[in-house]
Amino acid sequence: MQAWSVEEWGLENLALHTVDRASPGPGQVQVRFRSASLNYRDLLVVEGQYNPKFSRPLVPCSDGFGEIVAVGAGVKEEFVGRSVLTLFCPDWAGGEPTAESLRTTLGGPMDGVLTPFRNFYPSQLLFLDEPSALTPGEWSTLPCAGVTAWNCLMDLAGLQPGQSVLLIGTGGVSLFGLQIAKMVGARILLLSSDPEKRERARELGADATEDYRRNPKWSEWVREQTGGEGVDVVLETGGAGTLPQSLKAVRLGGIISLVGVLSGTRGDINILPLVMKAVNVRGAVVGNKAHSKALVKAYLQNMVRPVVHRSYEWTDVPAAFQELQSGAQFGKITINFPDPDQDSPSPA
């Protein structure tokens, strides 16, 4: 079978390579993937910017939806045919992360999901009871971006009805944050430089939006929108470039969940607002299996569909990464897998 992998870092080196389809070992199941979705982390991994020490060749991407098609010795045969989601940290079942669980993340350092078949232990997967509720592509968007937003807003911040949340940009984590905050009944403020994206965010439920490029001191706008108090929670996906304004935008005793680095990882930060306002800044590494279960339950109960920007075919994976790199998308980019009963076509 053919899988997408990089033998040398760089998007130009992402290519299809022939790999063995190993049978599931004792205690394992084999998953046939039907869809995958891309995260910004995947792009950083492929470019060698996330951790150039990862072993190569490496199959990228962490987020996949598929079905179990075979089982190894000691595994129940009734698992065959069950629909499953991958977990970014397959060995992190619950509680706080450990160094050991964070060393086994999909798409680096472990091989990811851009392969037609992959073996897992059942505990490393999330079994889905209602797979027809969403499309394969929609399901595949949940494991990383969706779980990150859930962990940040619901677990770490404990978002409550009537509270306010600030979202930066319209990437996958921010849009999941918008949908989750809407479920909760929170007031949602969102920043985007694109007028069309701001309008679409309002259609999804954002209460107010602002252009951060036109208004670089957007923390003042946030305080105006909150009666001078600031927001209860900031879902900080920008990084070092936006954190100073986020510190000014959050209320006294508020929470900043730091998950993104789109505006950089280094910068000069005045920590006085952090101290004087007793702000809680907490980094988050996606989430655990318990978070994934809670997220799926919430989406099914509220009949909410993840936002998919565009789906690419298996042969167009490099083009999908290029669109992700452009930042033009609104929502998630997904990959459709080929029919396993047919020979996988080669890229054009």
Long-range contacts of 316-324 (CB under 8 A, 24+ apart): 316/347, 317/4, 317/14, 317/114, 318/11, 318/14, 318/347, 320/38, 321/11, 321/14, 321/38, 321/42, 321/43, 321/46, 322/11, 324/38, 324/40, 324/42, 324/43
CATH 3.40.50.720 for domain 145-283, yes or no, is yes
3-class state of residue 295 by DSSP: helix
The class of domain 2-141+306-336 in CATH terms is alpha beta
Name residue 209's beta-bridge partners: 190
Cβ neighbours of residue 103 closer than 8 Å, sequence gap 6 or more:
109
Nearest residue to 156 via CA among 291, 27, 63: 291
Could you give the 3-state DSSP secondary structure of residue 324?
Answer: helix
Cβ(139)–Cβ(65) below 8 Å: yes
**What sign for the dihedral angle of Cα 78, 83, 86, 91?**
negative
Largest CA distance in the chain: 63
- State residue 300's pLDDT score: 97
Give the distance from CA 175 to its chain's centroid: 10
Instruction: Sketch the domain layout of the chain as residue ranges.
Output: 2-141+306-336, 145-283
Tokens of 133: 């509720």
Consecutive 10-residue runs of the chain (348 residues): their mean pLDDT?
Answer: 97 96 97 97 96 96 98 97 97 92 94 98 98 98 97 95 97 96 98 97 98 96 97 91 92 91 61 78 91 97 96 98 94 92 50
- Dihedral class, residue 76 (left if φ above 0, else alpha if ψ from -120 to 50, else beta): beta
According to the model, what pLDDT value does residue 268 have? 72
Helix (H, G, I), strand (E, B) or coil at 123: helix
Q: Residue 119 pairs with which residues in a beta bridge?
A: 30
- State the residue for tokens 């999804």: 204
Give the SS3 label for residue 299: helix
Rg (CA), the chain: 20
SS3 of residue 304 by DSSP: coil
- pLDDT at site 342: 54
